[in-house]
């Protein structure tokens, strides 16, 4: 037996603001359960899609994330348009030492948590 990823947990200071951002970014539904917002995948998400829990934290993010989500645009969508949509929601471009020829765009959410938008989803090895 092996483990599977069930949820992405992110420490946040302003849980309502971050729930609004991440739910709009991912199309997830927000449930406020008293301990921090829980975001649930939409009904049309692939089976096994992880949920997101926004865990309240008293301190600001100290530095570059050691792990982060990689997003992709399904069905060959327009990557540039998606990056601009995310920026319109409150994300910003982030510099983590990219060279400029990567297969992704690095952004940061409204609290500075980095994430990437992949130019294409990595194919599953045969």
HSE on the CB side for 6, CA within 13 Å? 3
Report helix angle 15-26 to 79-89, nearest 10. 160
Per the model's pLDDT, the better-predicted residue between 30 and 76 turns out to be: 30
Q: Indicate the pTM of the whole model.
A: 0.88
Alpha-carbon distance 54 to 15, whole Å?
Answer: 6
Alpha-carbon distance 39 to 31, whole Å?
Answer: 6
Q: What is the pLDDT of residues 24-67, one digit of tens each?
A: 999 999 998 788 899 999 999 988 899 999 999 998 888 888 88
Residue 107 tokens, joined: 């952004």
């Amino acid at each position: 037996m092996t483990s599977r990823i069930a949820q992405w947990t992110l420490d946040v200071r302003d849980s309502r603001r971050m729930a609004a951002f991440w739910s709009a970014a991912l199309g997830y539904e927000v449930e406020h359960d008293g301990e921090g917002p829980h975001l649930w995948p939409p009904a049309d998400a692939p089976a096994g899609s992880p949920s997101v829990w926004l865990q309240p934290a008293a301190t600001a993010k100290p530095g570059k994330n050691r792990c982060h989500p990689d997003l992709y645009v399904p069905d060959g969508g327009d990557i540039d348009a998606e990056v601009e949509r995310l920026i319109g929601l409150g994300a910003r471009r982030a510099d983590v030492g990219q060279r400029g020829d990567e297969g992704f765009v690095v952004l940061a959410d409204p609290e500075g948590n980095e994430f990437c938008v992949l130019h294409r989803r990595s194919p599953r090895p045969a």
